[in-house]
Amino acid sequence: MIKNFIDKAGWPRIIIGLFLLGLFIAAPFVGVNVDTSLNNTLVRFGMNGVMVLAMIPMVQAGCGLNFGLPLGIIAGLLGATLSIELNSEILSKLAELGGQYNISWLNPAFIEVYREPIGFASAIIIAIPIAAVLGWLYGKLLNRVKGDEMMIATYVGFSSVSFMCIAWLLLPYKHPTMVWGYAGRGLRTTISVEGYWLNILNKALAIKINDRFTIPTGMLIFFAVMALLVWLFMRTKTGTAMTAVGSNPEFARASGINVDKMRTISVVLSTILGAIGIIVYEQSFGFIQLYMGPFYMALPAVASILLGGASVNKASILNVIVGTFLFQGILTMTPSVINSYLQTDMSEVIRLIVSNGMILYALTRKVRAGR
């Protein structure tokens, strides 16, 4: 039984899991509060879970790991900023519709009470079509470079971030909380979501254990629903065809499956999940980070799913859950424990070393799996 568990889990994940457990055990002895650490780990798990989930469609369709995740993140950023820009118009339009169609519950009082959920939902609704269009173009490009998807995806991700650095300065946003104060044009580097949808998921159905530990139930449920939708989709006719394309493209083509179409659908889904993922991240983080913010978001997501046991051609929901928890758990605990033990303020340096070390390990493991 133990041998079977080790074979299924794999020694790397067992060792990393034991290391994380060791950090939790050592935490009280160096003055780190376990409740706070566990709370931070759960929050970071929920914040990053949907973006790691975005890896599954492309991996299953044989498009490789989505190093072009920043493209989906940019769609999410556009949805978030447009939601704030159009906030007043959206709320007044809903009140107008309520009056026009005599919908009693859709009145100004209701809209004011649910202003934050409406803002969060509108950010996602605006981001999805933008992500679908960008994902479709991205999928068409990847179909032309079969075999080099990950290299081209990396270039697409980096170049799209650079392009948007110019666009954020030129787009005609006017909202005073988002534009630079001295010029009145161009978006700020960081935009606060306080007053719009700050912690909207974290606070929903939150279970307060004590002053230092609150379970972000709403965010975890949102991630669970997204994971369930992906799981159900992968079992539909389209999802099964997508998996067949990733497993054996020649056999799939001989079976009458349009390989390029399935690959394009997978890229569109992955980009949409990336867009939703960054909005979930923002509501917990508290800020929309523009310009170079999305630049390094893909590597932790890729490393997480690889740490969870996924390969270049196969990934599951379990890989997402295990990988995200291990990656974010170690990223949370290692700086806290080492910082408290050494009695220094090197938390950011340690976090960078640990983060990049795990990314390096995950990517080198991927290369061995691909041989």
**Tens digits of per-residue pLDDT, 7-50?**
777 777 888 888 889 889 998 988 888 899 899 999 999 999 99
Alpha-carbon gap, residue 95 to 98, rounded angstroms = 5
- Which amino acid, one-letter code, is at 318? L
Secondary structure E strands in the chain: 190-192, 207-210, 213-215, 287-289
The two structure tokens encoding residue 7: 């074979």
196-213: per-residue pLDDT in tens?
Answer: 889 999 999 899 988 889
The residues near 5 (Cβ < 8 Å, ≥ 6 apart) are none
Determine how β-strand 213-215 pairs with β-strand 207-210. Answer: antiparallel
Check residue 285 and report its DSSP letter. H
Q: Are 61 and 313 in contact (CB under 8 A)?
A: no
- Please report which confidence band the pLDDT of residue 320 belongs to, taking 50, 70 and 90 as the band edges: very high
Position 368 scores a pLDDT of 47
Q: Which position has the token pair 């640990």? A: 354
- Please report which confidence band the pLDDT of residue 370 belongs to, taking 50, 70 and 90 as the band edges: very low
The two structure tokens encoding residue 12: 């790397």
Helices 2-9 and 11-26 pack at an angle, to 10 degrees, of 100
Q: Are 263 and 244 in contact (CB under 8 A)?
A: no
Q: Are 350 and 334 in contact (CB under 8 A)?
A: yes
215 has which bridge partners?
207
Residue (of 279, 234, 223) closest to 49 by Cα position: 223
User: pTM for the whole thing?
Assistant: 0.91
- Please report which confidence band the pLDDT of residue 371 belongs to, taking 50, 70 and 90 as the band edges: very low
SS3 track for 251-266: HHHHCCCCHHHHHHHH
213 has which bridge partners?
210
Position 263 scores a pLDDT of 94
Q: How many CA atoms lie within 13 A of 87 on its CB side?
A: 21
Cβ atoms within 10 Å of 291's Cβ, excluding its own: 18
What's the CA angle centered on 5, arms 333 and 7, to 5 degrees? 100
Alpha-carbon gap, residue 26 to 150, rounded angstroms = 39
The residues near 208 (Cβ < 8 Å, ≥ 6 apart) are 214
The residues near 299 (Cβ < 8 Å, ≥ 6 apart) are 67, 359
Q: How many CA atoms lie within 13 A of 280 on its CB side?
A: 31
The two structure tokens encoding residue 180: 């630079």
Position 365 scores a pLDDT of 63
Position 339 scores a pLDDT of 81
pLDDT exceeds 70 at position 140: yes
